[in-house]
Chain A
Amino acid sequence: MMQIPCPYCGTRDAFEFTWGGQAAVIRPADPQACSDEEWCGYLFIRNNPKGLHHERWCHTYGCGQWLDVWRDTLTHLIEHVGIIGASSAHSEPPA
């Protein structure tokens, strides 16, 4: 069973969490001004790596907080869990 170390509650079974997809998806600042390609990218194109993936999880049946998670999609190992904030938009997991 996959477990996620919640920074607020401690390590819990993945049952308690809801997957929230790719992290740091940025909405175009002005949807009226962006191209159809940019809008399509924002709506539909997601990173789908075989390996480390930066994503959001919500501790739904715990503290209810949204978390910043680096997870390996092949091994399901959690590399890093952080609080969403300034550092969560990085393209590499914090050391």
Chain B
Amino acid sequence: MAHSILQLARHALSGHRHWPAFWQNAQPRERYDVVIIGGGGHGLATAYYLMRNHGIRRVAVIERGWIGGGNTGRNTAIVRSNYLAAPSIRFYDFSLRLYEGLSRELDYNIMLSQRGVVNLAFSRHQLRLMNRRVNALRHAGVASELLTTAHIRRLLPMLREQSAAGRRLFGGFIQRRGGVVRHDAVAWGYARAANALGVDIIQDCEVTGFQTSHGAVTGVETRRGFIATRRVGLAVAGSSSVLAAKLGLALPITTMALQAMVSEPVKPVLDVVLDGAVYVSQSDRGELVIGGGTDVHTSYAQRSGIQRLEDNMAALIDLFPAFGRLRFMRQWAGLVDLTPDASPILDSSPVNGVCLSCGWGTYGFKAIPAGGVAFAHLLATGTRHAMAHAFSLDRFRSGALIDEGGSSGMDDREALL
């Protein structure tokens, strides 16, 4: 049922005790046209667009844990499209445009706040690279501006421009359409909208294997029984390699833990998103939400190492000495699947009927709407969506890499290969 002010008033009178569930928890059926593995933002969005854009009728999303309990609920909720390579800018800006209309599309408030994403340069060379990025963005028709130190002083009055260690601010750049989104709302909104169209959402249903015949998939083995299907979409982030191995596939992916943390709530101190080696924004509740680079080795432990935690804190306090007085409330980690070029893989696989949406690394959340549209297109038609044409699996063989290490905060990874 559509949300309305009348409905809100009615539920307010009964103490908000009678809101209907946003989606029904389904039992697995014997057979589906498409089974999507992974009930995160990407999986749920894909299911939604499969129904809405392609009219595919029997679609299931199966999830090992609970929907939105993986990286969709663990990221720092930043959305932006300030990438470098033309195919990336086009794709991430398509995603940002979809985010701009998503509350209306899903009839669910995702609380998009386009407060601007700022990157800072601490050397002439960094500033030059940012200038190049700004030019690349403008060339692709995406507004962004180079900032002088005077601009930055107005945007970030608490920033320390010069540290005792010799770090000095040279400038920066801003994408004003960038911002933050309520991340859980994206999973819940897509789940609700997909379920309303008839998608079965099956939680607590771990995939244990696949059945294939003559190089084509015929079904999925799960802890809750066998599900027959001729088309499977893999959207499982950090577990991509583990599931691909069950199909005999080796992917160019390494799994690492990416951590985030929140401080105690304080009055408004930061009204833009600061991006970079450490990224920080202030939530509506007043908490500072902070993230940084991935942990420094491969990991499947969904917890964070102390080393990167200390790096993040040191970088943050160096920029904002006043934040050193804050206490931290929570810290957690998600498992990210990193590709060598920090761009995703949205392609069919050597196993007939199995499509891959993986390699979303540290940038999966901002890509959810576009990733869903493109993956649904791939699953429905068997061909890559025009917006995601460059994100092939074959590019690692052909050499057509799309290096976005510098745009995804991963330019400091030394030893990934």
Contact = CB atoms under 8 A, between A and B. Distances in A.
Interface of A: 1-2, 14-15, 18-21, 36-37, 39-41, 43-46, 48-51, 53, 55, 71, 73-76
Interface in B339-379: 340
Contacts of B250: 41, 45
Given A14-B307, A44-B340, A45-B252, A75 B301 contact: yes
Interface residues on B, range: 20 to 34
B263 interface: no
Given A44-B340, A48-B254, A19 B396 contact: no
B255 interface: yes
A13 to B, nearest CB: 9
Nearest to B341: A44
A36 B395 CA distance: 11
Contacts of B241: 48-50
B84 interface: no
Given A19-B415, A46-B254, A50-B242, A37 B397 contact: yes
Given A19-B298, A21-B416, A75-B301, 16 more contacts: A14-B305, A14-B307, A18-B415, A19-B415, A21-B415, A37-B397, A40-B396, A41-B250, A44-B417, A45-B252, A45-B396, A48-B253, A48-B298, A50-B242, A73-B298, A74-B300
B299 interface: yes
Contacts, number: 67
Given A44-B340, A44-B396, A15 B299 contact: no
B227 to A, nearest CB: 23
Contact of A48 (B255, B305, B340, B414): B255
Contact of A36 (B299, B398, B415): B398
A15 B300 CA distance: 19
Interface in B291-305: 296-301, 305
A2 B298 CA distance: 13
Contact of A2 (B239, B242, B305): B305
A43 B234 CA distance: 24
A37 B397 CA distance: 6
A29 to B, nearest CB: 20
B1 interface: no
A40 B250 CA distance: 11
B251 interface: yes
Contacts of B397: 36-37, 39-40
B13 interface: no
Contacts of A41: 250
Contacts of B417: 21, 43-44, 46
Most buried by A among B297, B305, B416, B417: B297
10 contacts: A2-B305, A19-B297, A37-B397, A45-B251, A48-B242, A48-B251, A50-B300, A73-B298, A73-B300, A74-B300
